[in-house]
Structure 1
């Protein structure tokens, strides 16, 4: 069982929209998840624009995949390195530390993640 940033059981990030590498609402990762979708980020317009400018458009609906597109305040399991890239660019979104997998600290220092946690 994966734990969160507080070494407690990982909780659900979001089921509406459904998120996670496994599309089960959690930011748990496995060996198959090479992007480490481990950070439960709380979307902002600024981050969505940043991600789109980097080639990962999360705001445009893709009905053929059942994806309605994200908007500000939605929670989404981000790749740890995408969140880190946004952090380095000064536009990292806040995160839900209870729903962020402890696996994210392989890529991002824990103290930085905790500073961005809303809980």
Structure 2
């Protein structure tokens, strides 16, 4: 996760930052790993705020939406 993506997601109505005790959700911060739906990530590409991708953890169906070259260009290297 990156701060830029988390703020983008919140502005889109998906607040991943704030804790939600009802769902035992502590909230996310920059550096956390979190599974994103491909379409939300693709929208973040257009806004230039897409977080890095762990390719080994990415479902092959993401390729129906996102070209492999785009995913590779945003590969997590940490």
TM-score greater than 0.5 by the shorter chain = yes
1:102 deviates by 1.2
Please list every run of at least 4 consecutive aligned residues from structure 1 whose deviation after the TM superposition is greater than 3 angstroms: none
Aligned to 1:56: 14
Structure 2 residue 28 is matched with structure 1 residue 70: yes
1:72-113 residue CA offsets vs partner (Å, 9 max, x unmatched):
011111010000000011111111111111110111111100
TM-score by length of 2: 0.94
Instruction: Please give the TM-score of this superposition, normalised by the length of structure 1.
Output: 0.63
RMSD: 0.8
RCO higher in structure (CA 8 A, sep ≥6)? 1
User: Which of residues 10, 15, 38 in structure 2 aligns to 1:80?
Assistant: 38
Q: Which runs of 5+ in 2 are unaligned?
A: none
Equivalent residues, number: 77
1:14 aligns to what? none
Structure showing the higher helix proportion among its residues: 2
